Amino acid sequence: MSAWVKKRFWTDTSVVPAEGGFTVHLDGRGLRTPLKAPVTVPTEAAAALIAAEWEAQTGKIDPETMPATRAANAAIDKVTGQQAEVTEMIAAYGDSDLICYRAAAPQELVARESAAWDPLVDWAAVTFGARLTVQAGVMHVPQPPEALRALSAPLHQMSAFELTAFHDLVSMSGSLVIGLASIMELAPTDTLWALSRIDEDWQTELWGSDDEAENLARLRKSSFVNANRFYDAVRTGTRTLR
């Protein structure tokens, strides 16, 4: 069964053990990705997330309400078989990490960034042995190669499913360090997301916001939160999903 159909036609949604993990059946028929591969995920928790998304559909199917299904499809169809390339792409965020580029003024913003991001810089140094260079301004300054190697090391241990979720954590926040802090549960997901929004929140306080900007911010936060949830699910079937 293709992963995307036009409207709901099934009655029963179930999680079923499969070779290599678990899958989801709709009226006894297994889900498949857009490229027709079986949707098999490594944990029962991940399959349960996907099953809940399909069970929640009524009438016309809306893929935008099915982040776990979309993540599983991407992991199977796009990431599996090219994990080295995806790992390299994600690791590259470390060389221009959000938390390393600071405002030179005004002093209130400088202080706000420092209070939010200095602890993350220190955490990366203590946890991974990766001391990143912090600077004022947006001109790129290469990070120490040894720091980048240390930060990228955990990525090489990730499965295709973990990498898929981790990509969204990093790309949505703009920070490899915040992505790592999320999967290591350094702070609640909402707190880490807020740390990635220091500059945007400052601008909103100064100039106000508009509907388009607010909608984009909600979508990006939703992607970050859903990626965290999917990462938790594919990493283990025993943890409480956030």
Per-residue pLDDT for the chain (242 aa), expressed as one digit of tens each?
A: 555 568 888 999 999 999 999 999 999 999 999 999 999 999 999 999 999 999 999 989 999 999 999 999 999 999 999 999 999 999 999 999 999 999 999 999 999 999 999 999 999 999 999 999 999 998 999 999 999 999 999 999 999 999 999 999 999 999 999 999 999 999 999 999 999 999 999 999 999 988 999 999 999 999 999 999 999 999 964 433 33
- CATH of 13-78, picked from 3.30.420.40, 3.30.2180.10, 3.40.50.200, 3.30.1490.20, is 3.30.2180.10
Domain definitions of the chain by residue range: 13-78, 83-235
In three-state secondary structure terms, 39 is coil
* Cα gap 195→5, rounded to integer Å: 38
Tokens representing residue 66 in the block: 């099915």
pTM: 0.93
DSSP collapsed to 3 states, 75-134: HHHHHCCCHHHHHHHHHHHHHHCHHHEECCCCHHHHHHHHHHHHHHHHHHHHHHCCCCCC
Q: What is the DSSP string of 59-80?
A: SB--GGG-HHHHHHHHIIIIIT
CA distance 159 to 75: 9
* Measured distance CA(176)–CA(166) in Å, rounded: 9
Superfamily, domain 83-235: ATP12 ATPase (1.10.3580.10)
193 forms bridges with which residues in the sheet? Answer: none
In the numeric block, which tokens belong to residue 29? 């028929």
